């Protein structure tokens, strides 16, 4: 087998890490490639599920004695603590690895320190190879750990003229089945789906991750969260069925903001405490506006249908913008056609001052 460069190995490790997206939380996604002393790939691994073996352990098991004197290429700094599994830093040292190449340092104070432990044992440690790419692949977990509340993705569906429903309130279906299948795949990558009580009362959604072709449920279901300041969610609402866990978050439980409604930063902090690292905000327009006005949205995924309504509810209202100078500027990072619709991915630009 031909040798590969460290850069090539890190690219492969990032690909491997992505396989764990949606199943590892509250842990990060991590990929690892082990090279022997001649630079040949002798082991690969990724973290598949919380509580399972870490990427380095999987790769070391494949490599066996061939890891001795070799290089471990890993997307995140190896952990340095004992949780449900032992420290990966110690496992790498015991395997006789001579060099560890890390894309991103671990921001979790409980698990960080692996690089220092490796160096103290005489292992060469290099940091930052393909760091930006590895960071992007693990952005929800990294962001959540650094600031103490989840990464928030606002998802909406609308017509070209920005309508989320017709004038009579009908909204099924604005976008195509292909777009809805894509949304269910997106739900499968997050830890919680959040809606307002108005959406529950109007649409009675299930908020589960499903295969729309046969109706089957995905193996892992996100927590369903209803932001319901006054506790108006009906007992018979479909979000209260047994298909997934549900939290009806009231102002009495979470805390109230100045407007008497659920305090959104407190809600996100509470979700973080529950192990939620990524949130999909699905509705409705008033709740989306409140999140945007508070600067709590990290990414926007919009599904735009090639249709016009000319009237009816818009996808977002009351986002704190009263004049053009206050507009929330976005950076488009991807535009992809999904069936007849467009999926637009954008990042809110940070405001100065």
Instruction: Single out the catalytic residue among 56, 77, 253, 331.
Output: 56
Is 207 among the annotated ligand-binding positions? yes
Is 282 among the annotated ligand-binding positions? yes
**56 catalytic residue (yes or no):** yes
CB 70 within 8 A of CB 41: no
Is 285 among the annotated ligand-binding positions? yes
Q: Which two tokens stand for residue 304?
A: 């735009």
Is 117 among the annotated ligand-binding positions? no
Is 287 among the annotated ligand-binding positions? yes
Is 173 among the annotated ligand-binding positions? yes
Is 3 among the annotated ligand-binding positions? no
Is 309 among the annotated ligand-binding positions? no
Q: How far apart are CA 21 and CA 102, in angstroms?
A: 19
Four-CA torsion 61, 65, 67, 70, nearest 10 degrees: 180
Is 157 among the annotated ligand-binding positions? yes
Annotated binding site for Zn(2+): 54, 79, 88
The residues that are catalytic are 56
Q: Detail the residues annotated as belonging to a binding site for NADP(+).
A: 157, 173, 199, 229, 284-290
Known binding-site residue numbers: 54, 79, 88, 157, 171, 173, 187, 199, 203, 207, 210, 229, 282, 284-290
In the annotated binding site for substrate, the residues are 171, 187, 203, 207, 210, 282
């Amino acid at each position: 087998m031909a040798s590969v460069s460290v850069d090539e190995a890190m690219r492969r490790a990032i690909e491997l890490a992505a396989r764990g997206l949606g199943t590892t939380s509250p842990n990060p996604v991590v990929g690892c490639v082990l090279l022997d002393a001649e630079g040949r790939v002798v082991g690969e691994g990724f973290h598949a599920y919380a509580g399972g073996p870490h990427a380095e352990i999987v790769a070391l098991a494949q490599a066996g004695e061939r890891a001795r004197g070799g290089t471990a290429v890993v997307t995140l700094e190896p952990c340095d603590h004992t949780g449900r599994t032992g420290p990966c830093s110690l496992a790498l040292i015991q395997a006789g690895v001579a060099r560890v190449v890390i894309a991103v340092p671990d921001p979790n104070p409980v698990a960080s320190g692996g690089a220092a432990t490796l160096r103290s044992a005489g292992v060469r440690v290099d940091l930052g190879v393909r760091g930006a790419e590895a960071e992007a692949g693990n952005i929800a977990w990294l962001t959540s750990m650094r600031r103490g509340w989840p990464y928030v993705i606002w998802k909406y569906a609308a017509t070209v003229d920005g309508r989320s429903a017709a004038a009579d309130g009908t909204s099924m279906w604005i976008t195509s089945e292909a777009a809805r299948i894509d949304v269910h795949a997106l739900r499968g990558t997050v830890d919680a789906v959040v809606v307002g009580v108005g959406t529950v009362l109007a649409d009675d959604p299930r908020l589960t991750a499903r295969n729309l072709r046969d109706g089957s449920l995905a193996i892992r279901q996100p927590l369903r969260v209803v932001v319901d300041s006054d506790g108006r969610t009906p007992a018979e609402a479909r979000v209260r069925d047994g298909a997934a866990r549900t939290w009806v978050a009231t102002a009495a439980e979470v805390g109230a903001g100045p407007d008497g409604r659920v305090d959104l930063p407190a809600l996100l902090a509470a979700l973080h405490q529950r192990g939620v690292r990524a949130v999909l905000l699905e509705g409705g327009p008033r709740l989306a506006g409140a999140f945007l006005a508070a600067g709590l949205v990290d990414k926007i995924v919009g599904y735009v249908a090639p249709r016009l309504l000319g009237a009816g509810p818009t996808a977002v209202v009351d986002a704190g913008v009263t004049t053009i100078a206050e507009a929330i500027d976005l950076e488009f990072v991807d535009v992809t056609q999904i069936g007849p619709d467009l999926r637009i991915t954008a990042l809110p630009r940070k405001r100065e001052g």
